[in-house]
Amino acid sequence: MDDNSLKVGSNEMELVDFRIQKQEEGGVYEGIYGINVSKVREIIRVPALTELPGTPEFIEGIFDLRSVVIPVVNLAKWMGITEPEDARKNSRVIITEFNNVLIGFIVHEAKRIRRINWADIEPATFMSPSGNLDTNKITGVTKIEGDNVLLILDLESVVQDLGLYEPDVDNIPQELEKFSGMALVLDDSATARRIVKEALIKMGFQVVEAMDGEEGLEKLGELYEAYGQKITDTLKIIISDVEMPRMDGFHFAAKVKEDIRFKNIPIVFNSSISDHFSEGRGEEAGGEAYLVKFEAGSFYNEVARVVRAHTKAGV
């Protein structure tokens, strides 16, 4: 294996660093942004686009990529900023895939790949709103060279704005299997935690929530103080996102599985990353299943299967 390859459980991620320029009274400001490489299919020059009447202004149009029709979003327009006249001379389209949806994003420049430790990525909750960019559309921030700040955008919110993706929360099995005990849910998105929590409650679980891997380990410690060695009889399952500031899901899982107190508690990953490699990476990290957010039928069936298997095994 290449020594430079990204190791599962290393708590590192690779980002595509891209730039968006903003025209202001004092000149041109360059914003630095990033997206997880796992969500990027490819980066291409801006193709000829077919306009779609009646769509939001930030949708530039659609194009055919190897027999797949892909909508293209102008990120500058979506962010509500004014583009300089020459901003498009180096423009690229970043073709992404998440939640099993393909979509392209026009950026003013794609600079490089960066490897960043999740411990160096902070939630955006401390930031004051700036300009027209809603801080709810930022999943994390990290400092880079020159005291610059890179913002990780929540591009999934664009997909939801377009109506291309809505969580399937209603596809409930006719005979919903009921369980007892507790479930721990990790996700930095309050909306995602709410959806998973409601599904687990319908299955009979009591739910403990955490915002990232670090808080997840803290919650496990608190549960062990309360239940001791009976924690494996009480905590039936852990549902974890993958992309989370401070500590990601894979690193969290690796730490859980190396801790004798918690290693027998099953972990199911629930992520928007829908590439071809993440399921294998999740298994390598110690997960029993990997789900793409959020399809209720698959969620209920997989959670029930995993809990049944561990209960039958007596772990």
Asked if pLDDT for residue 7 goes beyond 80, the answer is no
As a whole number of angstroms, the distance between CA 122 and CA 251 comes to 16
pTM for the model: 0.85
DSSP, residue by residue, 199-240? HHHHTT-EEEEESSHHHHHHHHHHHHHHHGGGHHHHEEEEEE
Say if residue 128's pLDDT is above 60. Answer: no
Phi, psi torsion values for 286, nearest 5 degrees:
115, 10
Separation between Cα atoms, residue 216 and residue 195, nearest integer Å: 18
Which among 293, 297, 295 has a CA at the least distance from the CA of 270?
Answer: 293
Domains annotated for the chain, with CATH where assigned, are: 12-161 (2.40.50.180), 182-313 (3.40.50.2300)
**pLDDT > 70 fraction of the chain, expressed in percent and rounded:** 93
115: left (phi over 0), alpha (psi -120 to 50) or beta: beta
H/E element holding 251? helix 249-257
Residue 265 has phi, psi (to 5 degrees) of -85, 125
Confidence check: pLDDT of 259 > 90: yes
- Residue 238 confidence (pLDDT) above 80: yes
Q: In whole angstroms, what is the distance from residue 208 CA to residue 194 CA?
A: 11
